[in-house]
A and B are shown apart, each in its own frame.
Chain A
Amino acid sequence: MRNVYLDYSATTPVKEEVLQEMIPYFTEKFGNPSSLYDKGLESKEAVDNARAQIGALINADAKEIFFTAGGTEADNWAVFGTVDKLKEKGNHIITTKVEHHAMLHSCQFLEKQGYEVTYLGIGPDGRINLEELEAAITDKTILISVMMVNNEIGTVQPIKEIGKIAKAHKILFHTDAVQALGNIPIDVKDLGVDMMSMSSHKIYGPKGEGALYIRKGLRISNYLHGGAQENSRRAGTENMTGIVGFGKAAELARVHFDEHVKHCSELRDYLVDRILTEIPDTMVNGTMEARHPGNANITFKYIEGESILLMLNYVGISVSTGSACSSKSLEPSHVLSALGVPVEMIHGTVRFTVGDFTTKEDIDYVVENLKNIVEKLRMLSPVNAQKGW
């Protein structure tokens, strides 16, 4: 059976070139970068090299990159480090309703501690309203955090404009760029962000590695306490293989950026076009303009997403769904809710994300199977276009 992986926003396989860079750091190059002998210095050099590789991808200085154990830790550090540092100044955070749970649940935790959080909604294009953002700012606002690219619908926020507003009000601005990294151009200096979260495993690097960009001159409180690693900002012996792999993945993402975007967006557009024209009662969620190049978020009306996912899985195709039934919390996607998609349609929503290893034959295989699956499930469904919901 053919295997087609269309869930690159969930995670990506480690590229062969990345793996080859990592392997020596499991065995012969095992030195602790904090050690002062050659074996340690060799590792320290590798960490600094990776730091520079990541910096180059986002136009940051190497010293502005701080390694973490993934995007979630980067988000947590940015939020908790900022509120702790600025606790004398205020207690108000502005974020959005469509953030990743790493941000949303951190904010909800802070609300229980007495912090005020404003969750901005999004328009039909998936973007926040800048006037609404500006209106939400108070003299107690200490942090604005808005994700760059949404993980479910792939829509891109006006980060540069948000950065300007934050700067004008002298408020720190953090962005979660986990889905954006390697997929849209990022220049932290041009965008005016103070902090930015990144993750390795979304760009063909290993899992368990991420980084927080912290603008030069900005000091937030530490989140992990211990040794003097990461310039005494983030404790813990470096995950050498993770860091080296992340660095190499970032370098590949920078060098092959244009072809990656072209490859993904062409296949994604082909997938969307075929589904919308060949399968009735389907719609795309979120604007197609300036969208994550690999993301297609599609509602199949009158049927339920987990059923679609299971039947696709049966023929070797991997996707994800916004349906409540597929989530452990049984809550329908908060992103699609914020976008205004009716709940009964959220249940029938599937996210496809194409990546570097996707082929046109893969897409054809997916569409042909989808046609059968959707027809089969609609035969099973008590609701349909004639009867309505």
Chain B
Amino acid sequence: MALYNDTVMEHFMNPQNVGELENPDGTGTYGSPVCGDMMQIQIKVEDEKIVDAKFKTFGCGSAIASSSMATSMIIGKTIEEALELTNKEIIKELGGLPAVKVHCSVLADKAIKNAIYDYAMKNGKVYAALEGYDPNEDEDEHDHDVPEEE
């Protein structure tokens, strides 16, 4: 009996891709310490492919584990592919999270989107998945209004 499964615990205790890049091509953050979870992600892009990614996360076990998993998942992917990554897929790859954690602690898809948005802005790139996207718009969606019972 444990709060998290072994995969989640492994990514929490030994997170992959921790830190900051020296010259990142894009930086994105999502969440805030006030909400209890905040993630920063940086990407290195070569030929439209994410060749490296690093993260820093303030948050609970699932926030850290999902950050580790998400960065592992996007390295080697094209920008277009990375933009399609959903929290659902990250959670699936982690082998599931407690229901109460799903809404508030998985920030990776937004943080990745924000990092790519930053890269697109700096390099004058246009991606269909980012059309009309505003990195600050969805903050309210990150709410804590979930039912108590699982």
Chain A interface residues (CB < 8 Å from chain B): 302-307, 310-311, 314, 323-326, 328-332, 343-344, 347, 379-383, 389
Q: Are A389 and B36 in contact (CB under 8 A)?
A: no
The reply on B39 being an interface residue by CB < 8 A is: yes
Question: Which residue of A302, A325, A331 is within 8 Å of B37 (Cβ)?
Answer: A325
A380 touching B3 in the complex, CB below 8 Å, given contacts A328-B100, A331-B144: no
Residue of B whose beta carbon sits closest to that of A344: B33
Question: From residue A242, how far is it (CB to closest CB) to chain B in Å?
Answer: 25
Q: Are A330 and B57 in contact (CB under 8 A)?
A: no
Bound-state Cα–Cα, A380 to B17, Å: 10
* Best-surrounded residue of B15, B58, B105 (most CB of chain A within 10 A): B58
Segment 9-61 of B: residues with Cβ below 8 Å from A:
9, 12-13, 15, 18-19, 29, 32-34, 36-40, 56-61
Question: Which residue of A311, A328, A330, A382 is within 8 Å of B58 (Cβ)?
Answer: A382
Q: Are B61 and A306 in contact (CB under 8 A)?
A: yes
Chain B neighbourhood of A311, CB < 8 A? 13
Bound-state Cα–Cα, A380 to B29, Å: 14
The reply on B148 being an interface residue by CB < 8 A is: yes
Question: From residue A150, how far is it (CB to closest CB) to chain B in Å?
Answer: 22
Chain B interface residue bracket vs A: 20 to 34
Chain B neighbourhood of A331, CB < 8 A? 144
Q: How many A-B residue pairs have CB under 8 A?
A: 76
The reply on B146 being an interface residue by CB < 8 A is: yes
Bound-state Cα–Cα, A302 to B36, Å: 10
Residue of B whose beta carbon sits closest to that of A321: B60
Question: Which residue of A314, A326, A343, A381 is within 8 Å of B57 (Cβ)?
Answer: A381
The reply on B91 being an interface residue by CB < 8 A is: no
Chain B interface residues (CB < 8 Å from chain A): 3-4, 9, 12-13, 15, 18-19, 29, 32-34, 36-40, 56-61, 63-64, 100-101, 104-105, 144, 146, 148
Bound-state Cα–Cα, A286 to B12, Å: 31
Chain B neighbourhood of A332, CB < 8 A? 36
Q: Are B39 and A304 in contact (CB under 8 A)?
A: no
Q: Are B100 and A380 in contact (CB under 8 A)?
A: no
Question: From residue B142, how far is it (CB to closest CB) to chain A in Å?
Answer: 12
Q: Are A343 and B34 in contact (CB under 8 A)?
A: yes
Bound-state Cα–Cα, A343 to B56, Å: 20
Chain A neighbourhood of B64, CB < 8 A? 307, 380
Chain B neighbourhood of A329, CB < 8 A? 148
Chain A neighbourhood of B146, CB < 8 A? 330
Chain A neighbourhood of B9, CB < 8 A? 310
Bound-state Cα–Cα, A344 to B29, Å: 16
Question: Which residue of B29, B34, B40, B60 is within 8 Å of A307 (Cβ)?
Answer: B60
Chain A neighbourhood of B34, CB < 8 A? 343-344
Question: Which residue of A302, A314, A325, A381 is within 8 Å of B13 (Cβ)?
Answer: A314
